[in-house]
Structure 1
Amino acid sequence: MSDDDADVADGTWSDETDWELAPDGIDVGDLEADYAPPPVVAVVGRPNVGKSTLVNRILGRREAVVQDIPGVTRDRVSYDANWLGRRFMVQDTGGWEPDAKGLQSLVAEQASVAMRTADAIILVVDSITGATSADEAAAKRLQRSGKPVFLAANKVDNEKMESEAALLWSLGLGEPHPVSAMHGRGVADLLDAVLAVLPELSEIASGAGGPRRVALVGKPNVGKSSLLNRLAGDERSVVHDVAGTTVDPVDSLIELDGKLWRFVDTAGLRRKVGQASGHEFYASVRTHGAIDAAEVVVVMIDSSQPLTEQDQRVLSMVIEAGRAVVLAFNKWDLMDEDRRFLLDREIDLSLEQVQWAQRVNISAKTGRAVQKLVPALESALASWDKRVPTGPLNTYVKEIVAATPPPVRGGKQPKILFATQATARPPTFVLFTSGFLEAGYRRFLERKLREKWGFEGSPIKINVRVREKRGAGARKR
């Protein structure tokens, strides 16, 4: 019997639920720590204070785009980082230079999004320039966040300049950390302070109890505000709005079918933007922030108009974020038979990537079928939360592989030695194998897992760990 045959012998596919019973030579380890969302550190601040340079310094590699002009980074970008063995995500929020009047509110908006989607926040301030009105606006917002906030006084290249950093105590965020992102001075001390308070896993992604969080997203004028108003007004059950100043995000707590839901603020479309030049960026930041802060996302699509690339971009954002999904085709009252036929064809062609998502045909204007949203949300969240025991999972995978083995690669037949679900939210499966599994075969396995356990409304992630040789550990793919 070969090593690979021995690995799939008695015990591998038995109906056991303990991860410790994986075959010899397979190190399951702490898979949840490997695959659950790591904590997020957001780097915020006004343009050209050195945020991207600091991000690159934290990463130890050049990832974020750095140019000596303001506003190069126009959206939030997340990177995997590791400091002294601790894994976390660094979120580079970028900057924007619309007009002088709009800059303050846009920097504050970045701070608002970071407050909602990060576990800790670094506010970067130019110690040479000193605190500006935009810095003060961001600091005031962050003081209310309840999150750990660290003030990085950048461009302190030597000891003589530390007195400039001390002046930033006035921002009210505690002791400034003097750093030079360009030269690396003080960055290690800053990271030590941040990681001392950072949770092991992201508390935002894992959820902290309370009402389930829903985001309504979609391209402009698709009916997000109308739907929210319909849900809130018709039910006459708005408990209260969680609001701050006029530029704070507003979360609506709404009771539907006897259950409380939190609808997170989306895309800023309920509020006019003060400056046209920053509007697209402002809406993009809000949309990303709403998705990251939500557990389930209602992607609204205008059924009366052809599907667009923008619709698909929004869907891609949601899937990439790993959130549960409900597709709401709005403006159904404007549909005729010809348009319904065309829409069905468009869905088959353009929305193949989300065939597993539930579809609700509604009219926010007339209230048509809006009551169907709650069952769809509950079903999607149940799938998102679902865990499959290891024993039944391996039994089923064995049946699948026996009926349809993986494609031969390099003259060898890959074997799936062991399977387990590492985490939920979204369901993430890890396959320990003797060889590489083609992407097409992984998609086949995903379809089979959905046939068996449903997962309607939730993305599924399948990760493969290839064991190079017996006892040599596994390589993550």
Structure 2
Amino acid sequence: MTEQTGPLPVVAIVGRPNVGKSTLVNRFLGRRAAVVQDTPGVTRDRIAYEALWNGKRFTVVDTGGWDPRASGLGASITRQAEYAMKTADVIVFVVDSQVGATDTDLAAARILRRSDRPVILVANKVDDERSESNAAELWSLGLGEPQPVSALHGRASGDLLDLVLEAVPEAPREQEEEGGPRRVALVGRPNVGKSSLLNRLAKDERSVVDSVAGTTVDPVDSIVTLGGEEWRFVDTAGLRRKVNTASGMEYYASLRTEAAIQAAEVAVVLLAADEVVSEQDQRVITQVIEAGRALVIAFNKWDTLDEDRRHQLEREIERDLARVKWASRVNISALTGRGVDKLAQHLREALASWETRVPTAELNTYVRALVQETPPPARGGRAPKIKYLTQADVRPPRFVVFSTGFLEAGYRRFLERKLRERFGFHGTPIEISVKVREGRGNERSRG
């Protein structure tokens, strides 16, 4: 068989907990694999597995379940479904046919219907012909024909794999080149000066472009000239979607922020320099990182600070924004216009990093030396070996580590820090996932 080169196509498995995602992943792989548990706090530490069917290799990713009892249900569903839409070539959406379509499934289906990726709807736990009528009811999700399977018993799993491979593109999806001005989300908690900044940027030249479809009240975007270049500032002020799980104005604000970030390529998170960095500020920054967008942090009202407050702010930044040391930072005053022109250069730098691709040879030469000096720690008495790295994607840069075993989150953070030291990536999040390739005689499950 000819060895496939380059990044493998990615198949993302999404759905609620306990619908049989992990069982389906194992069925795709043809063995019991070390599928990460749906444990709160580790949903971003995903492990990818390489699968082989009819001579074709592809990557299977279990995105982890969302918990309908957790607070911020809508945001949780959105993060998982958007992650799949952003990184996968094919999305497999698993629903428990015995339970039927829940509110959570319906909410996820609404998001997945917007995807430009192929979505295959799987009605799991159809163990016999009598159960197939349950599967037929899932047409109501609006995702086409439900595919009845039993992941546990293997019923129709071969047909499903054939269908998945038919949907896989000839080559993994490359980001399409998009013309027109770069898209910027201006986000931040209320009263930090977003409107003042947008008005300052727009001056009297504000022009309205095509409205964005799909919202109850269609928001409009603004084209502004900054640093001699046109930028498209995404405006979500019109978003007033009614959501069952809404809990007050803060939820609506969060939803509008999420929509703006998803529609943009780079986000400017505006913070008030004369106030401490709040939990709400942190949440907005987290939304940008989890959406995989380039990030510029702008401190507004800088002109109002005295020397003491500036020193104090530096200490707060060191303490509260330590996890985003890589973010581009600029000090501005929306009121006076001071420093606003510098925004353009920060936006350009962040976007350039967001689209950076490191040559594989250069990447591996660096990482081999790094791993030799600091190998990954042993887990369960056995130290995993890193075989090689590849950059699977850009916008944001996404790296896949081929390893003989699970890599602890701490070691992945170490790799990220070192990649940033060597290759920059100033102003962009980077994602590192692990692809476990077990050698012969090393097939035991690792939880």
Task: Give TM class, smaller chain.
Answer: 0.5 to 0.7
Paired with 1:112 and 1:462, the residues of 2 have a C-alpha distance of 19
Paired with 1:335 and 1:62, the residues of 2 have a C-alpha distance of 51
Relative distance call for 1:239 and 1:186 in structure 2 (3 A) is: same
Identify which range, 278-287 or 219-228, moves more after superposition.
278-287
Instruction: Map residues 82-97 of structure 1 onto 2, 5 A cutoff.
Output: 82-84=50-52, 85-92=57-64, 94-96=66-68
| 1:43 is aligned to 2:22 | no
8 Å Cα contact 2:125/2:152 also seen in 1: yes
Paired with 1:431 and 1:190, the residues of 2 have a C-alpha distance of 28
TM-score norm. by structure 2 comes to 0.63
Counterpart in 2 of 1:302? 272
Q: Give the aligned residue type for 2:23.
A: R
Secondary structure at 1:301's aligned position in 2? Answer: strand
| C-alpha distance after superposition, 1:355-401 (max 9, x if no partner) | 45332223446655434322211122223334567899999x7xxx9
Paired with 1:419 and 1:92, the residues of 2 have a C-alpha distance of 23
Counterpart in 1 of 2:348? 378
Q: Which one of 55, 58, 68 corresponds to residue 21 of structure 2?
A: 55
TM-score norm. by structure 1 comes to 0.60
Shift of 1:163: 2.1
Q: Give the aligned residue type for 2:12.
A: V
Unaligned ranges ≥5, structure 2? 27-33, 377-387, 403-410, 435-447
Unaligned ranges ≥5, structure 1? 1-28, 45-49, 67-71, 410-417, 433-437, 465-477
8 Å Cα contact 1:52/1:94 also seen in 2: no
Paired with 2:75 and 2:143, the residues of 1 have a C-alpha distance of 20
Relative distance call for 1:161 and 1:300 in structure 2 (3 A) is: same
Larger Rg: 1
Counterpart in 1 of 2:178? 209
Q: Give the aligned residue type for 2:273.
A: S
Shift of 1:33: 1.8
Q: Give the aligned residue type for 1:80.
A: A
Shift of 1:456: 4.0
8 Å Cα contact 1:75/1:281 also seen in 2: no
Shift of 1:339: 1.8
8 Å Cα contact 1:52/1:92 also seen in 2: no
Paired with 1:423 and 1:116, the residues of 2 have a C-alpha distance of 14
Relative distance call for 1:39 and 1:279 in structure 2 (3 A) is: farther
| C-alpha distance after superposition, 1:264-321 (max 9, x if no partner) | 678x996486555488778778767766765433233332222346655655665677
| C-alpha distance after superposition, 1:37-59 (max 9, x if no partner) | x6463625xxxxx5553321233
Shift of 1:109: 6.0
Relative distance call for 1:368 and 1:271 in structure 2 (3 A) is: farther
Relative distance call for 1:227 and 1:63 in structure 2 (3 A) is: farther
Q: Which one of 314, 326, 329 corresponds to residue 344 of structure 1?
A: 314
Q: How many residues align?
A: 399
Paired with 1:216 and 1:158, the residues of 2 have a C-alpha distance of 52
Paired with 2:259 and 2:157, the residues of 1 have a C-alpha distance of 27
Counterpart in 2 of 1:244? 214
| 1:65 is aligned to 2:38 | yes
Shift of 1:175: 1.7
Counterpart in 2 of 1:256? 225
Secondary structure at 1:241's aligned position in 2? Answer: coil
Counterpart in 2 of 1:164? 134
8 Å Cα contact 1:427/1:460 also seen in 2: yes
Question: Once superposed, what is the RMSD of the aligned Cα atoms?
Answer: 5.6
Secondary structure at 2:342's aligned position in 1? Answer: helix
8 Å Cα contact 1:143/1:173 also seen in 2: yes
Identify which range, 322-331 or 250-259, moves more after superposition.
250-259
| 1:179 is aligned to 2:146 | no
Shift of 1:342: 1.3
Paired with 1:462 and 1:371, the residues of 2 have a C-alpha distance of 34
Shift of 1:323: 4.5
Secondary structure at 1:33's aligned position in 2? Answer: coil
Identity of counterpart residues, as a percentage?
50
Q: Give the aligned residue type for 1:33.
A: P
Relative distance call for 1:138 and 1:237 in structure 2 (3 A) is: same
Counterpart in 1 of 2:7? 33
Paired with 2:110 and 2:315, the residues of 1 have a C-alpha distance of 50
Secondary structure at 2:211's aligned position in 1? Answer: strand
Counterpart in 2 of 1:47? none
Paired with 1:324 and 1:151, the residues of 2 have a C-alpha distance of 32
Paired with 1:441 and 1:98, the residues of 2 have a C-alpha distance of 30
Shift of 1:162: 0.5
Q: Which one of 278, 285, 294 corresponds to residue 324 of structure 1?
A: 294
Counterpart in 2 of 1:472? none
Q: Give the aligned residue type for 1:242.
A: V
Counterpart in 2 of 1:80? 48
Paired with 2:429 and 2:79, the residues of 1 have a C-alpha distance of 28
8 Å Cα contact 1:430/1:462 also seen in 2: yes
| C-alpha distance after superposition, 1:429-465 (max 9, x if no partner) | 9999xxxxx9999789657646xxx65434578999x
Paired with 2:429 and 2:70, the residues of 1 have a C-alpha distance of 37
Paired with 2:103 and 2:414, the residues of 1 have a C-alpha distance of 55
Paired with 2:63 and 2:413, the residues of 1 have a C-alpha distance of 32
Relative distance call for 1:134 and 1:318 in structure 2 (3 A) is: closer
Paired with 1:192 and 1:155, the residues of 2 have a C-alpha distance of 19
Relative distance call for 1:121 and 1:287 in structure 2 (3 A) is: farther
Paired with 2:363 and 2:108, the residues of 1 have a C-alpha distance of 48
Relative distance call for 1:448 and 1:357 in structure 2 (3 A) is: same
Richer in helix (by share): 1
| 1:360 is aligned to 2:360 | no
Shift of 1:239: 1.4
